[in-house]
């Protein structure tokens, strides 16, 4: 009969072999995810083109045959404007978790937001969120983005292969944001003040 020590070592060795398979499993899941992100890309691009107003003609926008399907949209039947202004701002304001973090100054800035999308980085599970901003308002071409000059802001999420619980998995490591090129430092101060007020307001609750 083998000693208990040798049996436990045998289990540890099985676990090591399992680990290599789990790493392959993690990587294959990421490959499937990347594959479908690429397949979804054309849909996201078409959506972005409609929102920005690149596609805006009757011929480019497929008309709905059955006009009764979306009665809640009837009020917008005669509204004609460039693309769909404030689309992403509206989406964010309707999201329960995101909306509670949006300040008044954010609303002014997010009005210039034209697209949000996810892009995979080369390495494993790493990805970045891309936030595209316009320099002129969609609603009124005269209104300029007076806040910053970046065309896009990026938020990159980095992962490392983790073995903490004896199981191979990619766990979140750190986030990296873009430097923002503020046009006027006063707005940075306004933004910081705004955040402080909100934080204090929360603490007082």
Applying CB under 8 A, which residues contact a second copy? Answer: 1-14, 17-18, 21-22, 24-25, 28-29, 32-33, 36, 39-40, 43, 46-47, 50-51, 56-58, 60-64, 69-70, 73-74, 76-84
- Reference 133, options 99, 93, 106, 158; nearest CA is 106
Helix (H) or strand (E) holding 118: strand 113-120
Q: How far is the CB of 104 from a second copy (least distance, A)?
A: 25
Nearer to a second copy, 9 or 197 (CB): 9
DSSP helix, strand, coil percent of the chain (3-state; round to 5): 45, 20, 35
CA-based Rg of the chain, rounded to a whole angstrom?
24
Nearer to a second copy, 44 or 182 (CB): 44
From the CB of residue 69, how many other CB atoms can be counted at a distance below 10 Å? 9
Q: How far is the CB of 195 from a second copy (least distance, A)?
A: 28
Nearer to a second copy, 48 or 109 (CB): 48
Give the ranges where 53-143 is alpha helix by DSSP (H).
87-94, 96-99, 104-110
Nearer to a second copy, 63 or 202 (CB): 63
Cα(187)–Cα(148) distance, rounded to whole angstroms?
9
Q: How far is the CB of 17 from a second copy (least distance, A)?
A: 6
Q: How far is the CB of 140 from a second copy (least distance, A)?
A: 16
Nearer to a second copy, 4 or 142 (CB): 4
Q: How far is the CB of 192 from a second copy (least distance, A)?
A: 33
Cα(92)–Cα(102) distance, rounded to whole angstroms?
8
């Amino acid at each position: 009969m083998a000693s208990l020590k040798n049996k436990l070592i045998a289990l540890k060795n099985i676990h090591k072999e399992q680990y290599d398979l789990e790493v392959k499993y993690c990587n294959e899941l990421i490959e499937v995810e990347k594959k479908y992100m690429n397949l979804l890309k054309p849909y996201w691009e078409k959506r972005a083109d409609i929102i920005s107003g690149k596609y805006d003609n009757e011929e480019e926008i497929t008309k709905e045959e059955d006009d009764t399907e979306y009665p809640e949209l009837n009020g917008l039947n005669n509204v004609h404007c460039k693309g769909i202004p404030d689309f992403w701002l509206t989406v964010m304001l309707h999201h329960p978790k995101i909306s509670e973090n949006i300040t008044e100054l954010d609303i002014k800035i997010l009005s210039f937001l034209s697209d949000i999308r996810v892009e995979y980085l080369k390495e494993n599970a790493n990805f970045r969120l891309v936030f595209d901003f316009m320099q002129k308002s969609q609603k009124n071409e005269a209104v300029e983005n007076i806040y910053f000059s970046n065309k896009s802001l990026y938020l990159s999420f980095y992962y490392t292969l983790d073995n903490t619980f004896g199981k191979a998995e990619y766990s979140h490591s750190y986030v990296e944001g873009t430097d923002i090129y503020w046009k006027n430092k006063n707005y940075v101060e306004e933004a910081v003040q705004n955040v402080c007020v909100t934080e204090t307001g929360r603490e007082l609750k």
